[in-house]
Amino acid sequence: MKPFSIQDAVKEIEPRTLSEREAGWIRDILQVNRNWGNADITKTKVVAEGPNAEGYSVVLQSDSPENPLSKSSSEMVGQLWIQTDDQSTINVQLSQFKGSLREIYVLFIDRKGRNRTLPKTWNEVSREAVNG
């Protein structure tokens, strides 16, 4: 049995290292959560990714928990709110299960209603990480 559920167009992939963008998102979020500030993401891999009903999912897996001292069975570790120069918002949510990071969920909010999907690149005008 797989440790995660793949839905919609989220597809299992050959495990890969975190991209620079993904690792940056995770580090920013971990730093605002006092229980996760010392988590080790050096062995965290992406094992599935793709669009889902409302955003984009990046499923994570590691050989050992990134935060073995975590006392929570399942929770959101934190969120990152990114504002772009075209007045769009990107919300990045990081979740965990029993001390292991599980998913980066990215929601793209286009305030102009252009019905776009998450672009490959954008220009940030602000970024704020908030605790779970």
More reliable by pLDDT, 75 or 52? 75
Q: What percent of the chain has pLDDT over 70?
A: 91
Residue 114: pLDDT band (50, 70, 90) is low
Per-residue pLDDT at 9 = 82
Listed by start position, the domains of the chain span 11-131
Per-residue pLDDT at 105 = 95
- Site of tokens 């999907």: 117
Flag whether pLDDT at 7 surpasses 60. no
Summarize the confidence of residues 109-119 as an average pLDDT. Answer: 75
Residue 6: pLDDT band (50, 70, 90) is very low
Flag whether pLDDT at 41 surpasses 70. yes
Residue pLDDT, tens place only, 53-72? 678 999 999 999 999 988 77
Summarize the confidence of residues 69-92 as an average pLDDT. Answer: 90
